[in-house]
Chains A and B, each alone.
Chain A
């Protein structure tokens, strides 16, 4: 079955960077986009961006452009999100989600468990 398993919680200081991983299994890795979505405490969902697992191409929300890097390692079937110049309002749970694919592009269908990133002095 499709599984996405994310790395553990992180605590970072303002100005630092964080890298979150998302290990996938149970499907052909290069056939589906991976989305990144975050949720600040008590707040709603916010789309961060997506990576094309086949060619590594990325799209990101305007709010994150210049600060976010999304990459993938096809041999490890793992996708990474790196966020730099962290601020306190980047404190959130970061989710990865596999796209629905053909017939349902831009549909985050299968979700990881989430990774809490806390930014605190």
Chain B
């Protein structure tokens, strides 16, 4: 199972919106809505930000939203804040009953 494809880096200024894409195949994102997004500041464990494409766990700001079209899922962060600077990873359930992660995207808040 190959990793999902994410852009290596994205950037934005405070207050702006950014979108991070996550491209898979018909064996994962294209068939299942079990897509999650994780935030990982340096030296820390990942934190779940979105699950089931666009659902937010308790405590995650509504500035974080998710969507999916075909084999590609997207994470949008609106009203960027300095504390949003981190690595972001997507994951998806697969037809092999496994989980696959994306390669990660470094978000810089300029």
B102 with A47: CB separation less than 8 A? no
Task: List residues of chain B with CB within 8 A of the CB of A109.
Answer: 48, 51, 57
A44 with B103: CB separation less than 8 A? yes
Docked complex Cα distance between A47 and B89 (Å): 12
Docked complex Cα distance between A28 and B99 (Å): 23
Number of residues from A at the complex interface, CB < 8 A: 26
Q: Which residue of A lies closest to B6 (CB)?
A: A44
Choice from A45, A111, A112 contacting B104 with Cβ under 8 Å: A45
A104 within 8 A of partner (CB): yes
Q: Mark A51-65, 1 if CB is under 8 A from B, else 0.
A: 000000001111000
Task: List residues of chain A with CB within 8 A of the CB of B48.
Answer: 100, 107-109
Task: List residues of chain B with CB within 8 A of the CB of A114.
Answer: 45
Q: Which residue of B lies closest to A106 (CB)?
A: B93
B52 with A107: CB separation less than 8 A? yes
B46 with A111: CB separation less than 8 A? yes
B52 with A47: CB separation less than 8 A? no
A105 with B34: CB separation less than 8 A? yes
B109 within 8 A of partner (CB): no
A59 with B98: CB separation less than 8 A? yes
A45 with B46: CB separation less than 8 A? yes
Q: Which of B37-55 contact A (CB under 8 A)?
A: 38, 40, 45-48, 51-52, 55
Task: List residues of chain B with CB within 8 A of the CB of A112.
Answer: 45
- 26 A–B pairs (Cβ distance < 8 Å), ordered by A: A37-B46, A37-B101, A44-B3, A44-B101, A44-B102, A45-B40, A45-B46, A47-B91, A47-B100, A50-B99, A59-B97, A97-B46, A104-B55, A105-B34, A106-B34, A106-B99, A107-B34, A107-B51, A108-B38, A108-B48, A108-B99, A109-B48, A111-B45, A111-B46, A113-B45, A114-B45
